[in-house]
Chains A and B, each alone.
Chain A
Amino acid sequence: AQSVTQLDSHVSVSEGTPVLLRCNYSSSYSPSLFWYVQHPNKGLQLLLKYTSAATLVKGINGFEAEFKKSETSFHLTKPSAHMSDAAEYFCVVSKAAGNKLTFGGGTRVLVKP
C-alpha cells in the first residue's frame, strides 16, 4: 500500500519570498514521486518527478524537490514566489514500475503582492 500526506492544506507567501510545500509518503517499495500543479478548473500539470535517479530534482518554473528516503519526504521548494504560482499543488506517489497514482490532499498556495 502507498499513501501521501501533504502537511499543509494552505500556504500563504509574499511575492518574492521562498515557498516550501511539505510532503511525506508511505510506500512498501521504492516509489516514484511527482509534484503536480492545478490552476482553477484546469487539469494537472507536471512540475517534476523523482524516479530513483538524482535525489534533488529540478522542475519547471523554478521549482525543485528533494527526495529524502530516511525521512520519507519529498518537499517542494521555490526560492522566489511569483503571483502566477498561486494554485493547488499535489504530491503524488506511484509504484516504481508505474501505473496507479495516489494523490495527497493538496496544498493551496496563496501569493500576496
Chain B
Amino acid sequence: GAVVSQHPSWVICKSGTSVKIECRSLDFQATTMFWYRQFPKQSLMLMATSNEGSKATYEQGVEKDKFLINHASLTLSTLTVTSAHPEDSSFYICSARGPGTEYGYTFGSGTRLTVV
C-alpha cells in the first residue's frame, strides 16, 4: 500500500532557530502534498497545499514566510519553520495524494515540534 514517511518524528529546538520537516512518498508519486497542524486534543488544521514544481497555496491566516514549503520532486515535500517560537510548538502532519489514487490520501506519522 501507499506509504508516506515523515521525518523527524520529534524535534526540540531553541527559540529563533529554524527546523525542517521532511515528507516522502515511498512507493508512489505524490503530485499533491498537504501540511497540517494539530494542537493538543484538537483537530487537524490545513496549513497549505503544495503541488510538485509550483508554489504552495497557504490557508488563510498561515504565514507563508514563516512556514516555508518546498515540493521540488514527486516524492519529497519539506516544511521549514523559520525563526521558531514557543507558540509554534505543535504536532505537524503531512499527507500525500498520488495521480492515480483518487480520494486516496496517505498520512505521515507526524512530527512533534517543541520550541524552548
Contacts and interface: CB of A to CB of B under 8 A. Distances in A.
Consensus secondary structure, chain B interface: strand
B46 A100 contact: yes
B107 A43 contact: yes
Give the bracket for the number of chain A residues in contact with chain B: 20 to 34
Contacts, number: 51
A32 interface: yes
Contacts of B91: 41
Nearest to A4: B43
A106 B42 contact: yes
Interface of B: 4, 6, 32, 34, 41-46, 49, 91, 93, 95, 97, 102-103, 105, 107-110, 112
Interface of A: 32, 34, 36, 41-46, 49, 51, 90, 94, 98-106, 108
